[in-house]
Amino acid sequence: MIPHTSISAVTGLPCPESGIWESMGNFRTTVTLFKGEPMPEYCGMKIKWRLIQVC
């Protein structure tokens, strides 16, 4: 299920919603996170993530 509104978060902040998150930028990857977990780095860098599927 794709959320109706765009939800995003940056590395280090608590995950605002459980689900599948996609990195934003030139290189794309996805991670599954639970609400409250810290948003991860990608390749050692702080990045912005967007929610693509609610779990």
Distance CA 3, CA 38 (A): 20
Q: What is the average per-residue pLDDT within 11-36?
A: 96
If pLDDT is split at 50, 70 and 90, which confidence band does 18 have? very high
Average pLDDT (16-44) is 96
HSE-up (13 A, CA, CB side) for residue 10: 3
Pick 37 or 25 by higher pLDDT: 37
Mean per-residue pLDDT, 7-14:
97
Tokens linked to 14: 């608590």
| pLDDT value, residue 2 | 54
For 24-51, what is the mean pLDDT?
95
Provide mean pLDDT across the span 2-26. Answer: 89
